[in-house]
Amino acid sequence: MQFVHMADTHLGYRQYGLSERENDFLNVFNHAIDEVVNERPDFIIHSGDLFEYSRPPTKALLTAQNGISRLKNEKIPMYAIAGNHDVVMKKNAIPPQILFKDFGLKIISPKNPFFIEKDVFIGGAPYSSKYTSKHLVERLQTIEKASCDFKKTILVLHQGIDRYMPYEYEIKIGEVPQGFNYCAFGHIHERIVDDFGEGKLAYPGSTEIWRSNEVEGYKKNGKGFYLVDIGGDLPEIEKIDIKLSREFLKETIQYTQLREEIARINEIIRKLKEKPVLNIIVTGGNFSRSEVYEIINQAFSNKCLSVRSKYVPDILDENLNIANMEKDALNIKRMIKEHLKDFNDEKVSDLATGLLKEMSEGDFDKAKDMTKNFYEGLNDN
């Protein structure tokens, strides 16, 4: 018996505020549905973050509807949970996936924690924040007991685990039940397959590049989904890759070779069918950042969908500078924790240092999610 494991499609995400990037996420989802139909699995599991927002834009809803309807017509059942992006972090919030129940989507939720598909137990829970993980662990224990009478069992979750996200996890690896044949996780955008308990634990990763730091992982491991065969003693997992609509280029160039490097990058871009997203770091020597910015912008703005640049003026001191920045960051975190010690609450300190990290990196959406999760945890206590 085979099934598809997919996650983190983030439909509706308008990366960098660009409609072209929104369309890229929609297109790759359509390609994924094409591949699923070609593979003819017995069913498909989506492990959360089907959408980027709890109130998705119309194009995202229509794309999801068309894909789910097509799977229903092809008699391929689809099971899904809500990820942190799918739902507002408050009690009894309803994810947008509920709109597609009549189109054949089966939603794993606290109300319906498991389903049986051809003698396979499929159980799980929607995303829980770090501050409500106690309730999640209790729920998982109940689900594990319900699965005991089945030979083939699948656990579906959308969580970060301390083994893979040591600073931003929601649950610890020891809190995940080990009695399942396959643990179908979402939330981490890199592909991961690990031996776990009596079977395998896997993250299929996101289907598109949601952050620029995913580029290296994409070039190494691809993007797409897993085709899983659970007919044997251990699941057999095959990567199904989906070619993305456009390239993400990450280039580090020296200021002293700026003109030559611009010519080289232009030659790469010339061979591409679609305008790429270019991330470029200029390093070495002493130069005016505004002047170099103008040169780069003039060279690439009409040839790239987006150009994002960083500058490190002195390459000789680059490692020292990075080390100092990391040291300073640690000092700032230490100072924050010191000033907040009167609260006698580790959760408050974790929130403050987490917000420092995300806001310094410009990820204000994640900072807002962290704040919502924190106050949701207070309401549950």
Location of structure tokens 């003819």: 40
Q: One of 10, 85, 158, 187 is an active-site residue; which one?
A: 85
The Cα–Cα gap between 83 and 49 comes to: 4
d(CA 70, CA 26): 15
Report the alpha-carbon distance of residue 8 to residue 37 in Å, rounded.
19
DSSP string, 266-285: HHHHHT-SSPPEEEEEEESS
Backbone angles phi, psi at 6, to 5 degrees: -130, 155
Query: Which amino acid is it at 205?
Result: G
Q: Which two tokens stand for residue 212?
A: 């620029």
| β partners of residue 239 | 226
Give the amino acid at 379.
N
CA quadruple 54, 186, 28, 59: dihedral, nearest 10: -10
Give the C-alpha separation, 210 to 11, whole Å: 11
Paired residues of 121 in beta bridges = 116, 153
Amino acid at 7: A
Closest CA to 276 of 224, 188, 215: 215
Known catalytic residue at 5: no
Query: DSSP assignment, residue 351?
Result: H
End-to-end CA distance of the chain: give it in Å, rounded: 43
Backbone angles phi, psi at 196, to 5 degrees: -155, 125
C-alpha–C-alpha distance, residues 355 and 349, integer Å: 10
Q: Collect all residues with Cβ–Cβ distance below 8 Å to 26 and sequence separation of at least 6.
A: 11, 59, 60, 63
Rounded to whole angstroms, the Cα distance separating 303 from 336 reads 44
User: Is 171 in contact with 137 (CB distance < 8 Å)?
Assistant: yes
For 16, 82, 364, 366, 369, the CA distances from 361, given in Å and listed in that order, are: 14, 26, 8, 10, 15
What amino acid positions are annotated as catalytic residues? 85
